[in-house]
Structures are given as structure tokens and as C-alpha cells.
Amino acid sequence: MKWKRFLFRGALGVICLTGLVYLGDFVVFRVRVAANRSPYGSVNVQHFDAVLKKNGKTQFLYDPPQRETCVNALFPHDNFAPCWYLNRHREQGTNL
């Protein structure tokens, strides 16, 4: 019984801490937007389509690199991905 209570409180603490970090990140982002202090950035992203052919091989069709808008924050805001994430995932593919 004590372990269940301990695990429940630990999980609740992690959830609350994550919520507080997100809330803080959101407030800092909104302040940066209001003060026009570079809340947005941009990253060159390479998009490609991976097409599986009948013979089992995959053909990659690359689009030209494009600048994609991102937010300078820990979490996504305003339907934009964080810049730290896009910098680590510059190639984005779609399986067809």
C-alpha cells in the first residue's frame, strides 16, 4: 500500500512539474511576442517522400530545402515547432 501511494504521489508530482514548466515556457513566449524580442526563428528543412516500389526498393523524392518558421521555446506554440527540434530534425520524410 505504501508503494502505491508513493508511486501515485511521484507520478502526480511529475505531471504537476511538467505543467508548471509548460506554463512558464508559455508565459515567457507570450512576453517575447508582446515585446517583439525574437520569439520566432527559421530553419532550413529538407522534405522528402519515400516511395516503396514493387520490387521492394525505396525511391526517395527530395523537394528543394525550404525555410520553416519555428519558435524559440521549449515546447511548440502557435502551431510552430520549437527551433531546437527543427535544428535536430532537418530532414523530414513522408512514407508513401
pLDDT digits (tens, 9 = 90+) for 25-62: 999 999 998 998 888 999 999 999 888 888 888 888 88
Give dist(CA 74, CA 85) in Å, integer.
9
Global confidence as pTM:
0.75
The domain containing residue 54 runs over which residues? 2-95
Q: How many domains does the chain have?
A: 1
pLDDT at 95: 82
Total Cβ atoms within 10 A of residue 22: 14
